[in-house]
């Protein structure tokens, strides 16, 4: 996969945007409510599948090497093996599939909201799977802890990411190259 200089710079800038938005957290036990899911959807809505997913990968790598960009300023490889690890991995899949949907349809509010809702549920699904297998929880407990408390906030964040992503995306010159 070949990337232009513009795509590399945009991916880096928007990885920083995800890192900044991730600092807005509401503690809810071991899994906080954050703006990470919003940030991932927002970035992918603006940048598209390829550059958006690379941006999320850069963000995750920054957290993995110790930069305090994950929720609440956390960092390090241990973050990927704790209760939030599945959500972090889920961000890559959220980015890819949100971008894939947006790539296949008309770039408008309806499809952006739809793609972001699908992406948000993908992240919740991965988070719940991680809790099931990583914490040896029964299925109902894993979904009760990893999905149920986050469904309504996830829907709100997905709607906001989709709406603001299209609103800003239509005003940025580089999105015309992504969504033709």
Among 3, 7, 44, 64, CA closest to 17: 44
List phi, psi (to 5°) of 110.
Answer: -60, -50
Residues 75-125: tens digit of each pLDDT: 999 999 999 999 999 999 999 999 999 999 988 999 999 999 999 999 999
Residues 21-42: tens digit of each pLDDT: 999 988 877 778 899 999 999 9
Percentage of the chain exceeding pLDDT 70: 96
Dihedral sign for Cα atoms in the order 19, 25, 31, 37 = negative
Give this prediction's pTM. Answer: 0.92
């Amino acid at each position: 996969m070949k990337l232009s200089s513009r795509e590399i710079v945009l991916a880096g800038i928007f990885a920083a945007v995800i890192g900044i938005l991730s600092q807005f957290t509401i503690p809810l036990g071991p899994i906080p409510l954050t703006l990470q899911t919003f940030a991932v959807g927002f970035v992918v809505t603006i940048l598209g599948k390829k550059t958006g997913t690379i941006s999320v990968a850069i963000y995750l790598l920054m957290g993995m090497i110790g930069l305090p960009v994950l929720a609440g300023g956390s960092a390090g490889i241990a973050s990927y093996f704790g209760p939030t690890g599945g959500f972090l991995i889920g961000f890559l899949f959220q980015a890819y599939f949100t971008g894939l949907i947006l790539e296949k349809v008309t770039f408008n509010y309806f499809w952006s909201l739809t793609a972001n809702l699908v992406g948000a549920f993908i992240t919740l699904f991965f988070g719940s799977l991680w809790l099931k297998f990583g914490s040896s929880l029964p299925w109902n407990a894993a979904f009760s802890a990893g999905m149920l408390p986050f469904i309504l906030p996830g829907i709100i964040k997905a709607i906001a990411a989709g709406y603001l992503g299209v609103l800003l995306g239509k005003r940025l010159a580089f999105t015309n190259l992504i969504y033709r």
